[in-house]
Structure 1
Amino acid sequence: DAYPTLTRLFADGGYAGQKLEAAVAHIDRLTIEIIRRSDITGFVILPRRWVVERTLAWLNRCRRLAKDWEASIASSEAWMV
Structure 2
Amino acid sequence: SLLQALAAESPLRHILADRVYRGPKLLGAVADCGPWNIEIVQRPAGTKGFQLLPRRWVVERTFAWLGRNRRLAKDYEATIASAHAWLMIACIKLLVRRLSQARC
- TM-score, structure 2 length as denominator? 0.47
Question: Conserved in 2, the CA contact under 8 Å of 1:10 and 1:35?
Answer: yes
Q: Relative to 1, partners in 2 of residues 1:30 and 1:54: Cα closer, same or farther, differing over 3 Å?
A: same
5+ unaligned residues in a row in structure 1: which ranges?
A: 69-75
Deviation readout 1:10-45 (Å, 9 max, x if unpaired): 111122222211121124431100111334246543
Partner Cα separation in structure 2 for residue 15 and residue 7 of structure 1 = 17
Moved beyond 6 Å, runs of 4+: none
Question: Conserved in 2, the CA contact under 8 Å of 1:12 and 1:52?
Answer: no
Q: Give the superposed CA RMSD.
A: 3.0
Q: Secondary structure at the match of 1:10?
A: strand
Aligned residues between the structures: 71
Identity among equivalent positions (%) equals 51
For the pair 1:45 / 2:43, whether they are aligned, the reply is no
Question: Conserved in 2, the CA contact under 8 Å of 1:11 and 1:34?
Answer: yes
Q: Relative to 1, partners in 2 of residues 1:62 and 1:11: Cα closer, same or farther, differing over 3 Å?
A: farther
Match of 2:30 in 1: 24
- Greater length-normalized contact order (CA 8 Å, ≥ 6 residues apart): 1
- TM-score, structure 1 length as denominator? 0.56
Question: Conserved in 2, the CA contact under 8 Å of 1:7 and 1:29?
Answer: yes
Question: Conserved in 1, the CA contact under 8 Å of 2:16 and 2:38?
Answer: yes
Q: Which shows bigger deviation, 21-30 or 40-49?
A: 40-49
Bigger fraction of residues in helix: 2
